Structure 1
Amino acid sequence: EALGRMVRSSTKGAAKSDEEELRDPSDTNLYRIPFAEASPTDRRIRGTGLCIQGNHGSSTHKGTLAYAFDFRLPTGTPLVAARPGVVAATAGHFNEGGLEGKLRPRANFVAVQHSDGTYARYFHLRRQGVTVEAGDTVKAGQQVGLSGNTGFSSTPHLHFDVVDMLPEDTCVLKVVDPENVDTPILTLPAVIAAFSALFPRHAATVPAKLVRAEPADASADLTNIDKVRGNVVLIERGGCSFTTKARRAEEAGAASMIVVNNNKGPELFSMGGTEKPISIPAVLVASEAGDLLRDIVQEGSKLRLIIRYSDGFLRSRNWQKYAEDAEPGAEAKGLYFVANTQPIEFLDNGKTVVPSVGAIYPNHMPEGNNSALPDGCCVIS
């Protein structure tokens, strides 16, 4: 369970009344506002519930994040499921927020999968602010967390969007016994690097031996080339850039590269870099997965790895886009398009709305009827 796509939490969200459910749960385009209405004072004076960035926002809602919403919420505001679903992934251990690039993947969040396969994502929750567990079934209106200001964020708020796929859905590592490759001993989530070469698309990938890099973080040229050549090399994060690690693994003759995150917890993201694409596949795994993979490297272990795209990724339009961008010699554009935000509408006070900047929700208070307008210099994500 420690190797799943989520952090477990012992606090359950409280279910809301039937009246708070969506009018028509089968309508996949309608969502409820993902937080409760604040007091009149908080709404008018503090701007609680104010939409500070909407679709195609000038700050960060561009490209694949075009259909996203940011709502100003004081830290600790209860967040509720905008639509029924199953909790797919969470992170609640981060405690820092700001505008440093390193904080982009370090926002606490909850992701809820809906019946049509899409995911609602609730970002920037406070530390230990996740109130559901992975695998929980939630109703629309049921509490899923508490708002905060973690990750790439300059002010306490909720970033809400709906996407077609999570980064962890792109790739899997299967630990197998070569004598029984059809029954994996472990299946671990991984995320493909922005500069990665293509993996073999077919499922019948030949199991490969896993070896550790020397030095472990590839901060210098690898010294165990004889062991690395033709195998999957396991490299620790830190010491040098991701692309430098990949280049050194490539020069040592590795078949592919796995980088182990040195941040404790489930943090996964697409490793980036500005150099030209690498000729070998490369993925990132969470720190807990690295603990198990190191055990597999032990001398005499007969266990092997199969690294492949997930079935869902291969069936998606994201695969086609990735394959185009990953052609040899192409510019490394990254896998950020994997999370394609979807245009959505909310059911608010009996009407369907697309939240607009300067208005307060729920129970829409139009722009001009409140004194808490957006900060012109506010940068949010």
Structure 2
Amino acid sequence: MARAFILVMDSFGIGSADDAVRYGDTGSNTLGHIAAACATGSTGEKRRRSGPLHLPVLAGLGLGKAAEAASGLAPPGLATETISGLWGYAAEISRGKDTPSGHWEIAGYPVPFDWGYFPATIPCFPPDLIAAIVKEAGLPGVLGEKHASGTEIIAELGAESVRTGKPICYTSADSVLQIAAHEEAFGLERLLDLCRIARRHVDALNIGRVIARPFVGDEATGFSRTANRRDFAVPPPADTLLDAVEKARRTTITIGKIGDIFAHRGTGENIKGPDNDALIDRTLEAMKRLPEGGFLFANYVDFDTLYGHRRDIPGYAAALEAFDRRLPEILARLNPDDLLIITADHGCDPSWRGTDHTREFVPVLARLGGRRGSVGRRETFADMAASVAEHLGLAWRGAGQSFL
């Protein structure tokens, strides 16, 4: 019996979507703009990399062709004569360009509703919401209460947070309440408990996630976020591919923040790691023991959090090249009848204005035995769930059409 794998390169968009104008993202192109910057030699700063973008394995799976089909432009450096898999691109129909929307749609549940968002005002949170959280958690108050970059706000308010015992609350263009606090001075478990409290209070506002953002350091040396991030998301309102796998009593292994994104429903064994490299290690280990009929769903978040949101083009390029160098290890672990899909959940163009996600098409790169060729444009990310369900022989009533 075959196995299936979906690997999500978090934020790796390949061209602005048809509806990008609604999000202010017309012209965004995460891959295209990174490749163009590399081709012009403008990514060599900080000695992280130099030269054209070099992704031979992804290009061999059809990335360059998928990107050209999606955007109309061939990314520099990704041309190849030989394609060793199935390739295409997908449009998102969920009403958002955030992490839960993208992942839920990949898993067969396009989000049909509008999330709740916090306005770009200071303070951005309703006073009664903050008052309720402060009272239940026994806090002296909170800091921040605005839209902000996570790294910038801990640099601005980290010392005051440690001194006063007040956590830092902030948001972004996503449907999210983020809470940062010092891992030692405030306490990691206390921060997680605070986020659980906040999760209950934002349910009525239809907020997708509450995210714990622990940090360490001091005023003299500076503050940095740790790998102990935790997302507290609402569960999908309907069944996803993960539920279908669970109901069929198959084995599921999820890597990275997949468990948090789906509120740990149907996510099986969840394995985390501090960075992309460690998460690839965990993926390889899990592939060794995933039984026939099993499903592995992984997220590699560094592209988004470390480079996309920070508008770091050379960092993003170097991370892509590092991922590409390790892809042969993953491909070597596939059995002949396994299905592998590599995709993304949204864009986060590091050349774009602001620090938010960008509404983009995503690549659909698949390996299944010796099959090769285009799967064309997929009208929803959910086609990937339908394809996995068909491959694993699962009963599927969710959205999407298989491309197999």
Quickly name the TM-score band, shorter chain normalised: under 0.3
Structure with the higher strand share, 1 or 2: 1
- Higher Cα radius of gyration: 1
| TM-score, L = length of structure 1 | 0.24
Structure with the higher helix share, 1 or 2: 2
| TM-score, L = length of structure 2 | 0.23
